Amino acid sequence: METKKIYLTKEGLEDLKKEYSELSKVKRPDILERVSQARSLGDLSENAEYVAAREELSFIDGRIEELEELLKQVEIIHNGKGSNHIVKLGSKVTLHSRGKKEDFMVVGEWEADPTAKKISHESPLGKALIGKKVGEKVEVEAPAGKILYTIVSVH
């Protein structure tokens, strides 16, 4: 079975590693202590603190497991420098549409954050931009209708 690559920038990888470290070295031990203390209080069937701590532990263990799998599949994306101004993963792109310019960074889906102008290469706009050059136009279907973008610059 082939595993899917998880594309991240160096910063995105560091963020995942920080989250993994925080969960496994700080939060999980704290929750284990809460479970242990709640267990010592007696009847577990009516012990809300025990149930809450076990649920939180289960959630944290699930996230730790998910992060471990993600980290095994990471492929670092490098910024688009030296790419002959062709949009690829890691590119910072300036687009012109409807009389205004906007900057975006094309990233892997795990790092996408539209509010920070980080768009996934799997998104409609990301898919349309990949492989395109400065001066080319791309049309993207949006809830408000089709939007035409012109690529102004690629870094």
| 59 and 107 both lie in a single domain | no
Give phi and psi for 28, each to the nearest 5. Answer: -60, -50
Q: Encode pLDDT of 56-111 as tens digits.
A: 999 999 999 999 999 999 999 876 555 568 999 999 999 999 899 999 999 999 89
78-110-139 Cα angle (round to 5): 80
* Helical pair 28-39 and 48-72, crossing angle rounded to 10 deg: 150
The domain containing residue 20 runs over which residues?
A: 6-76
pLDDT at res. 5: 86
Question: Is the same domain home to 98 and 59?
Answer: no
- pLDDT at res. 138: 95
pTM of structure:
0.74
CATH of the domain at 49: 1.10.287.180
Residue 100: per-residue pLDDT: 94
Res. 38 pLDDT band, cuts 50 70 90: confident
For the stretch 8-30, pLDDT in tens is 989 899 999 999 999 999 999 99
Q: In terms of domains, do 10 and 71 share one?
A: yes
Residue holding tokens 């790092």? 111
Any idea what DSSP says for residue 45? G
Look-up: residue for tokens 């910072």?
A: 92
